[in-house]
Amino acid sequence: MCGIFGIFDHLEASNHAYLGLYALQHRGQESTGIVSSDGKQLHHYRQMGLVSEVFTKDLLKKLSGRNAIGHVRYSTTGSSELKNAQPFVADYANGMISIAHNGNLTNAVPIRNKLESQGAIFQSNMDTEVIVHLIARSKEKTFLDRTIHALRQVEGAYSLLFLTGKEMVAARDPMGFRPLVLGSLKDSPVVASETCAFDLIGARWIREIEPGEVLLINDAGIKSFKPFPHKQLRQCIFEFIYFARPDSFIFNHNVYEMRKTFGAQLSKESPAVADMTIPIPDSGFPAALGYAAQSNLPFELGMIRNHYIGRTFIEPDQRIRHFGVKIKLNPVRGLLNEKKIVIVDDSIVRATTSRKIVGMFRNVGAREVHVRISSPPITDPCFFGIDTPKKSELIASSHKVKEIQKFIHATSLNYLSLEGLKKCVRGEEKNFCYACFTGDYPYPFQTEI
Amino acid sequence: MCGIFGIFDHLEASNHAYLGLYALQHRGQESTGIVSSDGKQLHHYRQMGLVSEVFTKDLLKKLSGRNAIGHVRYSTTGSSELKNAQPFVADYANGMISIAHNGNLTNAVPIRNKLESQGAIFQSNMDTEVIVHLIARSKEKTFLDRTIHALRQVEGAYSLLFLTGKEMVAARDPMGFRPLVLGSLKDSPVVASETCAFDLIGARWIREIEPGEVLLINDAGIKSFKPFPHKQLRQCIFEFIYFARPDSFIFNHNVYEMRKTFGAQLSKESPAVADMTIPIPDSGFPAALGYAAQSNLPFELGMIRNHYIGRTFIEPDQRIRHFGVKIKLNPVRGLLNEKKIVIVDDSIVRATTSRKIVGMFRNVGAREVHVRISSPPITDPCFFGIDTPKKSELIASSHKVKEIQKFIHATSLNYLSLEGLKKCVRGEEKNFCYACFTGDYPYPFQTEI
Amino acid sequence: MCGIFGIFDHLEASNHAYLGLYALQHRGQESTGIVSSDGKQLHHYRQMGLVSEVFTKDLLKKLSGRNAIGHVRYSTTGSSELKNAQPFVADYANGMISIAHNGNLTNAVPIRNKLESQGAIFQSNMDTEVIVHLIARSKEKTFLDRTIHALRQVEGAYSLLFLTGKEMVAARDPMGFRPLVLGSLKDSPVVASETCAFDLIGARWIREIEPGEVLLINDAGIKSFKPFPHKQLRQCIFEFIYFARPDSFIFNHNVYEMRKTFGAQLSKESPAVADMTIPIPDSGFPAALGYAAQSNLPFELGMIRNHYIGRTFIEPDQRIRHFGVKIKLNPVRGLLNEKKIVIVDDSIVRATTSRKIVGMFRNVGAREVHVRISSPPITDPCFFGIDTPKKSELIASSHKVKEIQKFIHATSLNYLSLEGLKKCVRGEEKNFCYACFTGDYPYPFQTEI
Amino acid sequence: MCGIFGIFDHLEASNHAYLGLYALQHRGQESTGIVSSDGKQLHHYRQMGLVSEVFTKDLLKKLSGRNAIGHVRYSTTGSSELKNAQPFVADYANGMISIAHNGNLTNAVPIRNKLESQGAIFQSNMDTEVIVHLIARSKEKTFLDRTIHALRQVEGAYSLLFLTGKEMVAARDPMGFRPLVLGSLKDSPVVASETCAFDLIGARWIREIEPGEVLLINDAGIKSFKPFPHKQLRQCIFEFIYFARPDSFIFNHNVYEMRKTFGAQLSKESPAVADMTIPIPDSGFPAALGYAAQSNLPFELGMIRNHYIGRTFIEPDQRIRHFGVKIKLNPVRGLLNEKKIVIVDDSIVRATTSRKIVGMFRNVGAREVHVRISSPPITDPCFFGIDTPKKSELIASSHKVKEIQKFIHATSLNYLSLEGLKKCVRGEEKNFCYACFTGDYPYPFQTEI
Report which DSSP code applies to A389: P
Angle at B122 between CA B119 and CA B123, to 5 degrees: 150
* CATH fit for domain A254-426, picks 3.90.1280.10, 3.40.50.300, 3.40.30.10, 3.40.50.2020: 3.40.50.2020
Residues on chain D touching B125 (C-beta within 8 angstroms):
91
Question: What is the pLDDT at residue C317?
Answer: 55
Q: Which of D116, D122, D136 sits opposite B119 (nearest CB)?
A: D136
Characterize C402-420 residue by residue with b for buried, 16 or more Cβ atoms within 10 angstroms of its Cβ, and e for exposed. eebbebbebbbbbbbbbeb
pLDDT in tens, B81-97: 788 899 999 999 999 99
The H or E element spanning position C356 is helix C352-363
A7 CB within 8 Å of a chain B CB: no
Question: In chain D, what percentage of residues exceed pLDDT 70?
Answer: 95
Q: How far is D165 from chain B (nearest CA, A)?
A: 16
Question: What is the pLDDT at residue A445?
Answer: 77
Confidence category of residue A192, pLDDT binned at 50, 70, 90:
very high
Total CB pairs under 8 A between chain B and D: 61
A393 CB within 8 Å of a chain C CB: no
Which residues neighbour D122 within 8 Å (Cβ) at sequence distance 6 or greater? Answer: B90, B91, B92, D112, D115, D116, D129
In CATH, what is the architecture of D2-231?
4-Layer Sandwich (3.60)
Total CB pairs under 8 A between chain A and C: 63
Which residues neighbour A18 within 8 Å (Cβ) at sequence distance 6 or greater? Answer: A34, A51, A55, A60, A70, B314, B316
Q: How far is A192 from chain B (nearest CA, A)?
A: 16
- Across the interface, whether the CB atoms of C308 and D29 are under 8 A apart is answered yes
Catalytic residues of A: 2
A117 CB within 8 Å of a chain C CB: yes
Question: What is the pLDDT at residue A296?
Answer: 96
Angle, nearest 10°, between helix axes B128-137 and B108-117?
50
- The average pLDDT across B268-290 equals 96
A-contacting chains (≥3 CB pairs under 8 Å): B, C
Strand spans (E) along C60-130: 67-73, 88-92, 95-105
Name the active-site residue from C2, C382, C433, C436. C2
C318 CB within 8 Å of a chain A CB: no
Report which DSSP code applies to C299: B
Q: Cβ distance B107 to B118 under 8 Å? A: no
Q: Is A424 helix (H, G, I), strand (E, B) or coil?
A: helix
Question: What is the pLDDT at residue B373?
Answer: 98
Which residues neighbour C187 within 8 Å (Cβ) at sequence distance 6 or greater? Answer: C9
Residues on chain A touching C164 (C-beta within 8 angstroms):
none
Question: What is the pLDDT at residue C91?
Answer: 96
* CATH fit for domain D254-430, picks 3.30.450.40, 3.40.50.2300, 3.40.50.2020, 3.40.640.10: 3.40.50.2020
- Across the interface, whether the CB atoms of C282 and D249 are under 8 A apart is answered no
Q: Assess whether chains D and A touch, using the rule of 3 or more C-beta pairs within 8 angstroms.
A: no
D316 pLDDT above the threshold of 70: no
Question: What is the pLDDT at residue C313?
Answer: 56
pLDDT in tens, A203-233: 999 999 999 999 999 999 999 999 999 999 9
Question: What is the pLDDT at residue B439?
Answer: 95
pLDDT in tens, A68-127: 999 999 865 566 678 889 999 999 999 999 999 999 999 999 999 999 999 999 999 899
B401 CB within 8 Å of a chain D CB: no
- The average pLDDT across A56-74 equals 94
Distance CA D17, CA A393 (A): 62
pLDDT in tens, D224-248: 999 999 999 999 999 999 999 999 9
Residues on chain D touching C181 (C-beta within 8 angstroms):
none
Q: Which of residues 257-276 of C touch D (CB under 8 A)?
A: 257
Residues on chain A touching C132 (C-beta within 8 angstroms):
121
Angle, nearest 10°, between helix axes D108-117 and D128-137?
50
D123 CB within 8 Å of a chain B CB: yes
Strand spans (E) along C361-408: 368-373
- Across the interface, whether the CB atoms of B196 and A257 are under 8 A apart is answered no
Question: What is the pLDDT at residue B324?
Answer: 74
Interface-testing mutation among C54, C304, C305, C311, with chain D (most D C-beta atoms within 10 A): C304
Confidence category of residue B132, pLDDT binned at 50, 70, 90:
very high
- Across the interface, whether the CB atoms of A122 and C90 are under 8 A apart is answered yes
Q: Which of residues 8-47 of D touch C (CB under 8 A)?
A: 12, 15-16, 18-19, 22-23, 25-26, 29
- Across the interface, whether the CB atoms of B12 and A317 are under 8 A apart is answered yes
Q: In C202-296, which residue ranges form alpha helices assigned H by DSSP?
A: 237-238, 255-269, 285-295
Greater pLDDT, D76 or D250: D250
CB atoms within 10 A of CB D198: 26
B249 CB within 8 Å of a chain A CB: yes
Total CB pairs under 8 A between chain A and B: 173
Q: Taking Cα atoms as reference points, which of B296, B402, B286 lies closest to residue B344?
A: B286
Q: Which of C116, C123, C125 sits opposite A123 (nearest CB)?
A: C123
Question: What is the pLDDT at residue D227?
Answer: 97
Residue A369 β-bridge partners: A341
Write the class of the CATH domain B254-308+321-429. alpha beta
Question: What is the pLDDT at residue B286?
Answer: 97
Q: What is the pTM of this model?
A: 0.91
C116 CB within 8 Å of a chain A CB: yes
Question: What is the pLDDT at residue C13?
Answer: 96
Residues on chain A touching B312 (C-beta within 8 angstroms):
52-53, 56
Q: Are strands C214-218 and C168-172 parallel, antiparallel or unpaired?
A: antiparallel
- Across the interface, whether the CB atoms of B309 and A29 are under 8 A apart is answered no
How would you write the pLDDT of chain C (449 residues) with one tens digit per residue?
899 999 999 999 999 999 999 999 999 999 999 999 999 899 999 999 999 889 988 899 999 999 999 999 986 656 667 888 999 999 999 999 999 999 999 999 999 999 999 999 999 989 999 999 999 999 999 999 999 999 999 999 999 999 999 999 999 999 999 999 999 999 999 999 999 999 999 999 999 999 999 999 999 999 999 999 999 999 999 999 999 999 999 999 999 999 999 999 999 999 999 999 999 998 899 999 999 999 999 999 999 998 776 655 565 554 554 567 888 899 998 899 999 999 999 999 999 999 999 999 999 999 999 999 999 999 999 989 888 788 999 999 999 999 999 999 999 999 999 999 999 999 999 999 999 999 999 888 777 55
B340 CB within 8 Å of a chain D CB: no
Distance CA D286, CA D260 (A): 5
Amino acid of residue B160: L
Residues on chain A touching B314 (C-beta within 8 angstroms):
15, 18, 55-57, 60
D62 CB within 8 Å of a chain C CB: no
Q: Which of D113, D117, D123 sits opposite B123 (nearest CB)?
A: D123
D393 pLDDT above the threshold of 60: yes
Interface-testing mutation among A16, A34, A308, A337, with chain B (most B C-beta atoms within 10 A): A308
Greater pLDDT, C219 or D75: C219
pLDDT in tens, B141-185: 999 999 999 999 999 999 999 999 999 999 999 999 999 999 999
Question: What is the pLDDT at residue B69?
Answer: 98
Distance CA D291, CA D283 (A): 14
CA dihedral sign of residues A395, A396, A399, A402: positive
Q: Which of residues 136-195 of D touch C (CB under 8 A)?
A: 195
- Taking chain D, what is the end-to-end CA distance rounded to the nearest angstrom? 26
- Taking chain B, what is the end-to-end CA distance rounded to the nearest angstrom? 26
Residue spans of the domains in chain C: they are 2-231, 250-438
Distance CA B6, CA B190 (A): 6
C328 CB within 8 Å of a chain D CB: no
Question: What is the pLDDT at residue C316?
Answer: 56
Confidence category of residue B317, pLDDT binned at 50, 70, 90:
low
Residues on chain D touching B90 (C-beta within 8 angstroms):
121-123
Burial class of C422 by CB neighbour count within 10 A (0 to 12, 13 to 18, 19+): middle
Q: Taking Cα atoms as reference points, which of C165, C190, C193 lies closest to residue C179?
A: C193
Q: In this structure, which topology does domain C250-438 adopt according to CATH?
A: Rossmann fold (3.40.50)
Interface-testing mutation among A123, A128, A130, A140, with chain C (most C C-beta atoms within 10 A): A123
Question: What is the pLDDT at residue B75?
Answer: 67
Q: Is D2 annotated as catalytic?
A: yes
Q: Assess whether chains C and B touch, using the rule of 3 or more C-beta pairs within 8 angstroms.
A: no
D324 pLDDT above the threshold of 80: no
ipTM: 0.92
Comparing alpha-carbon positions, the chain A residue that sits nearest to B250 is: A334
Q: Which of D301, D317, D334 sits opposite C289 (nearest CB)?
A: D301
